[in-house]
Amino acid sequence: MTIDDRLPRPELARWNRTVRYYTSRIVVGVLMRVIFRLRVEGGEHLAKGPAIYCFNHLNWTDPFLLYATLPMRPRTYFFGPREDDLRVGPRNRMMYWTAAAVPYRPAKTDLLEVTRRVAAVFQAGGVLAIAGEGRIHVGERDLLQIQEGTAYFALRSGVPIIPVAISGTSWLGFRRRLRVRIGRPIAATGRPTGEAVTALTAATWLALKAMVADADEPPRPGRFGRWLTELFNDWPEGSREASAEVSGPSGILSADPGT
């Protein structure tokens, strides 16, 4: 089995995946810059080779914001979503078409294959973007527990973790400013033992938490902004209001690599 066989959409020829990748990057970039004002900070920390971008997750648009602001090269892939079939639902079909998503099953019955796909991304020279919290949440300055899959993948492949702080997407509005702040790379060395994974997860959480500490809460937008904000949001509690009522300590969550 070759590297290409393990990359997303292996049934597509390499040239087809390349065309889809650059086409989607250009289209998403144009649309995001027309609708919003984008700002990138810390560009000197951007990856020059294989790495993991671990970002906080506030809204369904976050991956598209990164698609619009991260460099074209190295090629960017996204870990997730958690779906049995990416061809169900408009957002999933869009991600499936781009051949940039590395999905995994909700039942976590494909962990070995997912790990191979992640390794193939790095072997091909790409970067992998992971929503470390594993879900969206309310609160620009808040950061939920980071799941340990990010640290596991980094240690297993020996690639650095680069924290990425997104702000401004909790409430969307026309021409509102969205910020992407790139943090200093965190080295991942050694074997992926339980102790090493926990320590690297903690370091990533602390770095990302410091980066969102000064984020401003955007004002509630008008009808169009509220519609756009919630268009594809998937709140585990059922709604934004229900999610806001759930309280819990920020920190580190022990989880298997597939979560």
**Domain of residue 165, CATH code:** 3.40.1130.10
Q: Return the closest-CA partner of residue 258 out of 150, 154, 155, 122.
A: 150
Pairing of strands 177-182, 161-167: antiparallel
CA pair distance 33, 40, nearest whole angstrom: 12
Is 51 part of a structural domain of the chain? yes
CA atoms within 13 A on the CB side of 141: 6
Q: Please state the domain count of the chain.
A: 1
Quick one: pLDDT at residue 90?
76
Is 240 part of a structural domain of the chain? no
Quick one: pLDDT at residue 108?
65
Is residue 134 within 8 A of residue 54, CB to CB? The reply is no
Is 168 part of a structural domain of the chain? yes
Is 247 part of a structural domain of the chain? no
Is residue 106 within 8 A of residue 82, CB to CB? The reply is yes
Is 257 part of a structural domain of the chain? no
Q: Give me 243's structure tokens.
A: 């999610």
Q: What tens-digit pLDDT sequence spans the chain (259 residues)?
A: 788 888 999 999 999 999 999 999 999 999 999 999 999 999 999 999 999 999 999 999 999 999 999 999 999 999 987 766 677 777 778 888 999 999 887 666 678 888 999 999 999 999 999 999 999 999 999 999 999 999 999 999 999 999 999 999 999 999 999 999 999 999 999 999 999 999 999 999 999 999 999 999 999 999 999 999 999 999 999 999 999 887 444 433 333 434 3
Is 7 part of a structural domain of the chain? yes
Is 245 part of a structural domain of the chain? no
Place of tokens 């960017």: 76
Quick one: pLDDT at residue 255?
37
pTM of the model: 0.91
Length of the chain: 259
Is residue 68 within 8 A of residue 29, CB to CB? The reply is yes
Is 156 part of a structural domain of the chain? yes
Any idea what DSSP says for residue 45? Answer: G
- Residue 82's domain comprises 3-135+143-233
